[in-house]
Chain A
Amino acid sequence: MAWVTWRQHRSQLVATAGLLLALAAAAFGTRLPIHAAFHRDSLSACLPPAARSGCDIIVPHFEAEFAGWVTAARVLAVLPVLAGLFVGAPLLARELEQGTYRFAWTQGVTRRRWLLSKTALLAAAMLLAGAAASAVVMWWRGPFDTLEGRIGPSSFDVEGLVVPAYALYALALGVLAGLVFRRTVAAMTSTLVAFAATRFLVLEFVRPHFLTPLHRVVLATDTGLQPGDWVLSNTLVDGGGRQISAAREDLAVLHATQAGIDPHTYILTLGWKRLISYQPAGRFWTFQLIEAGLFVGLAALIVLVAVWLVRRTPT
C-alpha cells in the first residue's frame, strides 16, 4: 500500500516538501535582521519583572519595524487546511469521480484496509510536515514570543502541537467530504468551510474555557495588559461592579472635560475599575495539548465515520 500511496500522491507530497523548504528559506532569510534588532536594542532586558527604562518606546518600535512580516506570518495559519484540500479531499473523491474505485476496491486488499492504510500513511506525512512547519515558525517567531508571549491566537495557531493536529483534522475532513460529495471540487469546498467553521468555533467558544480564566482587577486607567497573557475580556466597571458602556464612559469624559479635569483622574476618583479576564502565558503548552488532542480526536472520529461509510458504498 505504501508504494501505491506514494505513486498516487507523490505530486502532493513533493509539493508539501517544496513548500516546507520555501518556508524554511524565507524564515532563515528574514530572521537574521529580526534577531539582530532584538539583540541590538537589548530587548531581553525589557522583559518583566525587571524591565529597564525606555522599553515603552523600544518595544513598540521593534514591533512596528517588523509588523509587516509578523502579519504575513499569520497567513501560515492556513497551511494545515491545504492538507485537507489537496491531499484529503481528492483521496476518495477522485477515485469515485473517475470510477477507478471499482478497480481499487476489487483487489485483494479490503476497502477498509485500503482506506485506513492510505489515510494513515498520508496522515503521517502531514503530521511530519505540520510539525516541521510549526518548528520553523516557532524558531522564527522566537523574539516576538519572548516579548508578547505565545498563548494569544496570532501565535498559538501557528506554533506548537496544534499545527500538525490541524493538518490531521483537515486531512480527515477532506477524506470524508470526498466520500460524501464524490466530486473533488465540492469536497475541497466543503472541507474548507468545515475546517474554517471548526477552527472559529473552537477559538471563540472552546479554547478560552479549556481552563478557568483568571481575573484581575486594576485601576480604571491601567491598561491591565501584561505581556504574554491572553486577555479574554477587558471591562470597565463602576464601584457597584456593573459594566460601564461606551456611552457612559464618553459622558463621564465629557463632564471631566467641561470641568477642566483630566478625564483619567476623574474616572479614578469615581472608583471605576478595570476587570480583566485572561489566560496566563504559562498555560501555553497545556492549551496546546488540549487543543491538539481535541483535533486529533475529531480527526479519528471522522476517519472512523469514513471507514464505516466506505464499507457501505456500492461498487
Chain B
Amino acid sequence: MSQLVIEDLHVEIGSREVLRGFDLTMSSGEVHVIMGPNGSGKSTLAHALTGHPGYRITGGRASIDGVNLLELTPSERVHAGLFLALQHPLDVPGVRLVDALVSAGATGEDVRERMRVEAERLGLRDELLDRFINVDLSGGERKRAEMVQFGILRPHFAVLDEIDSGLDVDALGAVARRLSQATTEWNCGVLAITHFRRLLQELTPDVIHVVSAGRVVATGGAELSEQLEAEGYEPFAALGR
C-alpha cells in the first residue's frame, strides 16, 4: 500500500501564484478526481508534481511513501512511482518510444512486445509506436500512446491531466477501462484532472475534490459531482476566496 501526500503546495508561474496551499492525500488502488473551472490550478498541480521547468514551487511538500518528490529530478520522480499523462502530449522528433522506455528502465527483451499488447488493449495501431514519439499522431492517438507508456512503466500513482479532452467516446472508454484495470492489476492510484463530468461516467471515482483558486475547497463522494451538475462551480468558488 502506497500513499501520495500533497501538503500545503504553493506554485508560481512567472510571478503569479497559481497553487495556494494545495492539500490532497490518496492511497494506491484508489481513483480520485479533481474538478474545477479553467484557471483553478488543476493543470499546474500536474506539471509541478512532475518537475516541469516552467513552474516554480515556493512551498509545501509532495511525497510518495515519505519520499519528497519535489527534491527529485523529473525522472527520479517517475522511479519513485509517479506518472503524468498530459493534456497535450509533446512530440519528440528523432526519438522512438521504445528507446525512451528502455532508457527509463523498462527491462527485458520484450519491451516492444509489451508495448504491442498495451496498444492492442487501447485500440491503438501498433505501428504508430514505431514512429518518433507522438510525431504525426492525432490528439487521441497521443493520449493512447501515453497510456501505453503508463502500462509499461506501471507507476504507483498516475496523474492524468484532462485525459478526456480530445478523445472520442470509444477512446475515452478504452482509456478509462485501462486505468480501472490498473487499479486492481498493480494497485495503481489514479488521480484524474477534468472539468467535464463525462469522465466520471467511464471511470468511477472513490473521491472527488473540487478545486478553486489554487486549493481544494471541497472533498467528497459522488454527491459532489451531482451538486456540481446542478449548481455549477460558482458556489464552490466562494469557498476559495
Q: Do A and B bind each other?
A: no
Which A residues form the contact surface with B (CB < 8 A)? none
Which B residues form the contact surface with A (CB < 8 A)? none
